[in-house]
Chains A and B, each alone.
Chain A
Amino acid sequence: MYQYNDDDQTLVNERVAQFRRQTEQFLKGEITDDQFRALRLRNGLYIQTHAPMLRVAVPYGLLSSKQIRKIAHIARTYDKGYCHFTTRQNIQFNWPKLEQVPDILAELAEVQMHAIQTSGNCIRNTTSDHLAGVCADEIEDPRPYCEIIRQWSTLHPEFDYLPRKFKVAVSGASHDRAATQFHDIGIHLVKNDAGEIGFKILVGGGLGRTPVIGQVIKPYLEKKHLLSYLDAILRIYNLFGRRDNKYKARIKILVKESGLENFARQVEQEWQLIKDTHELSDARIEAIKAQFIPPAYQADAAQEGSFAVQQQAHPAFATWVKHNTVTHKVAGYHGVFLSLKAPDTPPGDMTDTQLDTVADLADRYSFGEVRSTHRQNLLFADVKQADLFPLWQQLDAIKLATPNIGTVTDMICCPGLDFCSLANAGSIGIAKEINETLDDMDYLHDIGDVKINMSGCMNGCAHQSVGHIGILGVDKKGVEWYQLTLGGSSENEAAIGERLGPSVAKHEVTQAVTTILDVYVKQRLEDESFLDMVKRVGIDPFKEQVYANH
């Protein structure tokens, strides 16, 4: 993975010093609340319902074991012994003390981490495919370009006070696992007719209040033009994006109001004026690529025989292999998901002791690296098949081996009313209730791939509008109600879920979900997935049953 050079390190150190000064000035009353708010947000610090919340950047979801140990240390020393993984591959601490945040940032800088631009109206952390570099359907590893974009966007002097937040995702595979169609800019590595690899650029996608699927603005862009093209989009957005209404300030609204064609023309005009002034050189691309070379795989990893025997002998192990591991482009290796969706744990949460053990296991079994996924789980990307059995046993011992990846209980969930000052309704409690009700693993595995996404408010941090089943908490005169949607997807066939009907009361949510699943089980065709069935029959059969007793 990418290692900081002296300049990278200097930059994060200087950022820590700057924020330390800003915090001191704020505590002495030398800068106003409004000003400090803008500054702390750009360092990941929110003021939440109970305490500040600090969001730490995990660039494109990649972490070293050393960084994981540091996160464990911070959770133990400055927080209540746990942290939370977000849908944008980042990490949140829910209980830091404001005056200690500069110290936390200094600790992060020691392991080449930071919280720069993890909130505020600026360019946020660039996200990517959690299977980057190891999946078989990849055109090219997206991570070097993510790193190039990370550097370009970090402390960009012109684009730090945008109309609204700005998110970029990059995918290098034919299967989109990075929800690129729901980002302000989505980037795909593609091959043109001449066999050269470049980028397809999408613009104006987004979730939140007004979910919009991104549109192609540039079908093919040569690699050398990546940064000039991003500059052109950002300059047009910065100058012309709406600033009169925060709900209309995202680039998706500018694209919609201008029309894609007009917007694309403006960007093209701007780009033509700058494209030759700063090209991305081959040498620079190669230098960054050299930091993402594959680890030293064993050529004979697939020859080993115990793997098949252990699956025969231990059905629970076989079940876990089936659901929590993915195929790897190298024979004899697997990607292993660590489920952060154990029945009695809030989705995405981890304790300091789990983190420490995960760091040790990563060192032993996966070349010292861990990835965070946008469905709030972790991944060991490079595990030898011979190691799967001992790894499973050790993950099971720390409750990270629930075999529910891709099932109904692998829910995406925001912190909700329990922690977040924006939320209208709780989400963790309902996730727990659904989890407890659907405790029959055989039933879950029979249902298969159903993605439930649940957000506690319209801001949609848990991407409910693209959940196969979306659950959105709303406030009705101080009471928590929930709207259900069906048929959303953030993958290749991107779709925004359709509203099932009137919102339901809190105590009815779990019943509604189980009813929806029952309708699916009864009416599905052979091998038909939940999403395919919703597409085939529409929402009416589900609606009839869910509201049957209303």
Chain B
Amino acid sequence: MQIIKNKQIVDDSWRTIADEDNLSDGDITLSFTRWQQHKQDLLNHNGKLGVRISPADSVADIADDLATLQLIELDFPDFADGRLFSQAWLLRNRYGYQGEIRATGHYMPDQVFYLSRVGVDAFSPENSERLAMELNNLNDFTVSYQQSVN
């Protein structure tokens, strides 16, 4: 599967582990809840670790874990739920998170410019036909009025 990362289309190495699935080696993402409950078990995990967050999750709760997380996925249940935009801003600005922040789920191709401004650097569209469109939309504006992350 391919995603957009740093304005390039690249192959994706990550696997999504559902809450009912067993853990496995390699680069994996877990739900916010599972991470909270089982992070101690993952200290010796063979591979990289990521967490999927939903709009209602508080990123403050994983602030101390950010050094061990290489990926945070913003999982959009609905493009109209704008909380994840603030979560991304908080991760970058307040908590200094340096790893990958990836938009997934039901975000809109037309939201990628705003998402990139609040610190999202990777996009995993619902279908691969959208890759080119989203890559193009990242350049919608060459000017902006406000401070944000980018």
A residues contacting B by CB (< 8 A) are 7, 10-11, 14-15, 18, 22, 31, 35, 38-39, 121, 151-152, 154-163, 227, 235, 238-239, 243, 273, 277-278
Contact = CB atoms under 8 A, between A and B. Distances in A.
Contact of A157 (B79, B85, B108, B142): B85
Interface in B130-147: 140-147
A155 B110 CA distance: 13
Contact of A156 (B113, B141, B146): B146
Interface in B26-67: 55
Interface in B8-24: none
Contacts of A159: 82, 85
Given A35-B108, A273-B94, A160 B83 contact: no
A158 B148 contact: yes
Contact of A35 (B79, B87, B145): B79
B145 A158 contact: no
A227 B85 CA distance: 18
B86 A14 contact: no
B132 to A, nearest CB: 12
A243 B79 CA distance: 13
Interface of B: 55, 79-83, 85-87, 89, 94, 108-111, 113-115, 117-118, 140-148
Contacts of A15: 141
B92 to A, nearest CB: 11
B82 A157 contact: no
Nearest to A17: B140
Contact of A238 (B83, B110, B148): B83
Contacts of B142: 10, 14
Give chain B's interface secondary structure class.
Answer: loop
A155 B144 contact: yes
B110 A39 contact: yes
Contacts of B89: 158, 235
A157 B115 CA distance: 7
Which 9 residue pairs across A and B have the least CB separation, nearest first?
Answer: A161-B82, A157-B117, A157-B114, A151-B145, A7-B143, A158-B85, A278-B147, A238-B86, A14-B141
Contacts of A11: 141, 143-145
A252 to B, nearest CB: 18
A331 B117 CA distance: 50
A157 B80 contact: no
A158 B86 contact: yes
Given A11-B144, A11-B145, A158-B85, 4 more contacts: A35-B79, A121-B82, A157-B148, A161-B79
A316 to B, nearest CB: 48
Contacts of B145: 11, 151-152, 154-156
Contacts of A151: 145-146
Contact of A162 (B55, B82, B109, B141): B82
A10 B114 CA distance: 17
Most buried by B among A31, A162, A239: A239
Q: Which one of A154, A163, A227, A238 has the highest number of Cβ atoms from chain B below 10 Å of its Cβ?
A: A238
B86 A157 contact: no
A24 to B, nearest CB: 12
A251 to B, nearest CB: 14
A155 B86 contact: no
A277 B110 CA distance: 29
A56 to B, nearest CB: 19
B144 A238 contact: no
Query: By CB atoms of chain A within 10 A, which of B81, B114, B145 has the most?
Result: B145
A324 B85 CA distance: 48
Nearest to A274: B93
A218 to B, nearest CB: 20
9 contacts: A14-B140, A35-B108, A38-B79, A158-B114, A158-B118, A161-B111, A163-B82, A235-B89, A239-B83
Contacts of B117: 157-158
A432 B89 CA distance: 51
Contacts of A39: 108, 110
Contact of A243 (B81, B86, B114, B141): B81
A121 B80 contact: yes
A218 B83 CA distance: 25
B19 to A, nearest CB: 23
B86 A239 contact: yes
Nearest to B89: A158
A31 B130 CA distance: 11
A157 B142 CA distance: 14
Nearest to A228: B147
A151 B79 CA distance: 24
A161 B80 CA distance: 6
A18 B140 contact: yes
B8 to A, nearest CB: 21
A273 B89 CA distance: 13
Contacts of B115: 157
A17 to B, nearest CB: 8
